[in-house]
């Protein structure tokens, strides 16, 4: 399957998932979706920009320990971070479990499994519970 076909499939799956979430009474907002790999140059005062200190957004997140990878599914437009609430209260990581399990049942991969052994799936949540990818 081509990258474009995967992106189209992910967009369709995401829309179906969000409709289901609304029907279940969840509110949601977007977090990160696409992350550019274009280099961002660092300004150095009146001298302009320092081309030697150029990093992509994804790399900056990595170097600031906000992600564990320098290239990931967000860069391919195949991941979405969502911020959910129920009754106007933000969900805890554990509160994402039914959403993650629904996403997995639709064929996606849920970040709540990251760093968790399969035998611990029923008792532990991984480090990225609001992350949904193909």
d(CA 104, CA 20): 13
Residues 99 and 129: beta-carbon distance below 8 Å: no
Print pLDDT tens along the chain (134 aa).
999 999 999 999 999 999 999 999 999 999 999 998 888 776 666 666 666 677 888 888 888 888 888 888 999 999 999 999 999 999 999 999 999 999 999 999 999 999 999 999 999 999 999 999 99
Is 15 exposed, middle or buried (CB count within 10 Å of its CB: 0-12, 13-18, 19+)? exposed
pTM above 0.75, yes or no: yes
The structural domains of the chain, with segments of one domain joined by +, span 3-29+86-133
Q: HSE on the CB side for 47, CA within 13 Å?
A: 7
d(CA 9, CA 49): 39
Beta bridge partners of 85: 27, 90
């Amino acid at each position: 399957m081509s990258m474009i076909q995967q992106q189209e499939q992910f967009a369709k799956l995401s829309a179906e998932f969000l409709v289901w979430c609304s029907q279940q009474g969840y509110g949601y907002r977007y977090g990160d979706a696409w992350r550019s790999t274009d280099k961002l140059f660092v300004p150095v005062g009146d001298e302009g920009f320092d081309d030697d200190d150029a990093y992509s957004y994804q790399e900056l997140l990595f170097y600031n320990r906000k992600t564990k990878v320098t290239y990931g599914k967000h860069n391919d437009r195949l991941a979405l971070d969502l911020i959910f609430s129920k009754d106007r209260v933000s969900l805890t990581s554990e509160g994402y479990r039914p959403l993650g399990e629904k996403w997995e049942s639709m064929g996606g991969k849920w970040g709540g499994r990251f760093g968790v052994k399969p035998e611990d799936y029923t008792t532990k949540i991984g480090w990225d519970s609001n992350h949904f990818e193909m």
